Structure 1
């Protein structure tokens, strides 16, 4: 590899790495804020914050890799024009097509990573997230007995309060339970109790040495009973049984089951590596800047093209899912348009400032 290619490859790689790191940091903060807002109101357990953050970053990884790579290539080539190095290299016999080799050599390994993540990694992450949410929901069934907190079930028919929790949540002290069933309100108090998990997964709060009061609110008629042991079932969380969706299916399974939804998912996943490759090639003619003029317009144009292209890929997924286009037609339309723009810009730049 010539000296020019080595220097350009190093500069583009450094720019891409910095851009990717900055994007990951920004998106991680955004995702973390959303997760924390749910954790504050109790929708997400504190122990689930970091795993959910990991799943969120994984979902955005193909876009972040693509955008980071595009930034590295575009900014490095723009600097060559801004500092007039491009003119020097052209006078030395290195024209615009000589820039393609280092660009392609840099982006091919990253595009391969993007392809693997989008075709297989996203589906794996979706399956693992579903499994994690199911395990977390079952865990929350037991951990809902927090000391000093009134815990209400989702139906609002039962409130449980425990003053103290011991032995990793297996024993409790000073328990208060209020329930409302069939028009009658029951109040149960006990000095102590224990949490038992049955073999079938059911969880019971077994109260010891307590009293139970039951009656109709507003009426004087009520019943009181003492007990040595009294079991209260902790209601299981509402687990939604999710069948395998297109989002969680492997790429090979999508092709073997070519429904509109599966083909839409396939077009969307395949669009990530294709768009990353074409956008980085487009950065070569797009990076041209007249040293006497500002470069703001080129930067804005580059951002608009990246956003529009990725949105177009997402829109094409909806077209395929609604059977408005076939998967092949959608791929040819979306990426064919971008390829045409790429060829047109190369031709325009080659006939213009690069003709020297």
Structure 2
């Protein structure tokens, strides 16, 4: 029991450290993406951390298996390097027994990953989709930031205001540049520039929103040509596009697991197998990591780290490719993703029993040579 607690503590401590580092790296990249959308006015900065919080279960369900895999390699590799595993082996600690001890914390990780994969992650995707739909419903006034040029409509419109009231209804020092397109939207017909001393938002009874500009100019023309037309106005109204709010969430990753069970939809069947595969992945990578962590103290603890990572990447890549093939109906549903787990389970068993078998054959060969001598 003391040995079990010691090994479990080493694995779980390393797992926590590795997973925290991986989580920071992945979330930083995604946060930068959302931050760029907020800077362009596509997202409200106030919802950034809310989105990241709901995306956290989806990140963790893939990070934890990798963290456990690396945690076993690093923790047990250190024990081999410091000859602690040699002492344990001398007291009767076989590879099979070590694997059995390791499977217990791995089962805890698998339960956590299963909870994330089957429950929390789909709920998080649903909430993120709802937030993004709400963001799509925002008007320019809801995302406008004073003193910043804001690109809208895929860059076809640029808006700037020097001042903005607290209730976001009054503007001061307004600049709007918009590309004029042909009726089919395929050809650019010029640029319209609006400047005004002030502006305000008006909402009509039918829900239509207008930007009413006061005391300004409108310039129409084509860049590079001297045929610009300037119009001075006292009041100028611009119809703001009505936001389209979608209450439907088409992402299958947001579908609750209970709705996937028994579904005839091929994509739903693939999604269910994927969610079940992630907890199963934890046990398979544990089976591979235990023999791969065995290193010679003279070779260093990182000798097998790179091949082990490549093996893990191959496992995950084949699993993702099989998921895509299952989506397209190229793989029978009964076979699904399970064959990938079977192949790598056989690889793990081969790694587990190859070294003892090799040593046994070597010992038998040495005994035969002694007998002949």
Scaled by the length of structure 1, the TM-score of the pair is: 0.82
Count of matched residue positions in the alignment of Structure 1 and Structure 2: 351
Is 1:305 matched with 2:311? yes
Question: 1:105: which partner in 2?
Answer: 104
Does the C-alpha gap of structure 1 residues 354 and 280 become closer, same or farther in structure 2, counting only changes over 3 Å? farther
Query: Are the aligned partners of 1:141 and 1:235 in contact in 2 as well (CA < 8 Å)?
Result: no
Matched, 1:6 2:5: yes
State the 1:47 CA deviation.
3.4
Q: In 2 relative to 1, CA 342–201 (structure 1 residues): closer, same or farther, beyond 3 Å?
A: farther
For the Cα contact (< 8 Å) 1:246–1:254, is it kept in 2? no
Whether the 8 Å contact between 1:206 and 1:231 is mirrored in structure 2 is yes
Q: Measure, in 1, the Cα distance between the counterparts of 2:221 and 2:289.
A: 75
- For 1:81, the equivalent position in structure 2 comes to 80
Q: 1:54 to 1:197 in 2, by over 3 A?
A: farther
Shift of 1:266: 1.9
Shift of 1:148: 4.5
- Maintained 8 Å contact 1:275/1:309: no
CA distance in 1, matches of 2:192, 2:301: 74
Structure 2 residues without counterparts, runs of 5 or longer: 184-188, 364-373
**1:137 match:** 136
The alignment's TM-score, normalised by the length of structure 2, stands at 0.79
Aligned to 2:366: none
Q: Contact (CA 8 Å) 1:312, 1:334: kept in 2 or not?
A: yes
Deviations 1:91-147 (A, max 9, x none): 222222222333122111211111121222232222112111111222353235443
Unmatched segments (≥5 aa) in structure 1: none
Residues 76-85 or 43-52, more deviating: 43-52
Q: CA deviation at 1:286?
A: 1.7
Q: What's the offset of the Cα at 1:200?
A: 6.6
- After superposition, the Cα gap between the structure-2 partners of 1:113 and 1:211, relative to the gap in structure 1 and judged at 3 Å, is same
Q: State the Cα distance separating 1:19 from its structure 2 match.
A: 1.0
Q: Comparing 185-194 with 272-281, which one deviates more in the overlay?
A: 185-194
Which is further off, 292-301 or 175-184? 175-184
Q: CA deviation at 1:27?
A: 1.7
Q: Specify whether residues 43 and 172 from structure 1 end up closer, same or farther in structure 2 by C-alpha distance, changes over 3 A only.
A: closer
CA 1:59–1:202 in 2, change beyond 3 Å: closer, same or farther? farther
For residue 31 of structure 1, report the CA deviation from its aligned partner: 2.4
Q: Which stretch of structure 1 is more off in the superposition, 23-32 or 106-115? A: 23-32
Q: Shift in Å at residue 262 of structure 1? A: 1.5
Q: Secondary structure at the match of 2:238?
A: strand
SS in 2 for 1:232: strand
Distance in 2 between residues matched to 1:244 and 1:303, nearest whole Å: 34
Match of 1:19 in 2: 18
Post-superposition Cα deviations, 1:36-88, rounded to whole Å, max 9, x if no partner, equal 44445555443344344445544322121111111222222222222222222
1:130-279 matches, within 5 Å, as 130-149=129-148, 153-154=152-153, 161-175=160-174, 192-197=198-203, 202-207=208-213, 210=215, 218=227, 231-237=237-243, 243-279=249-285
d(CA) in 1 for partners of 2:210, 2:254: 34
Separation in 1 of the partners of 2:33 and 2:220?
44
Q: Please report the RMSD computed on the Cα atoms of aligned residues, expressed in angstroms.
A: 3.6
Q: SS of the residue aligned with 1:139?
A: coil
Question: How far apart, in 2, do the equivalents of 1:22 and 1:155 lie?
Answer: 35
Deviation at 1:252, TM superposition (A): 2.0
SS of the residue corresponding to residue 233 of structure 1 reads: strand
Q: Verify: 1:320 aligned to 2:326, yes or no.
A: yes
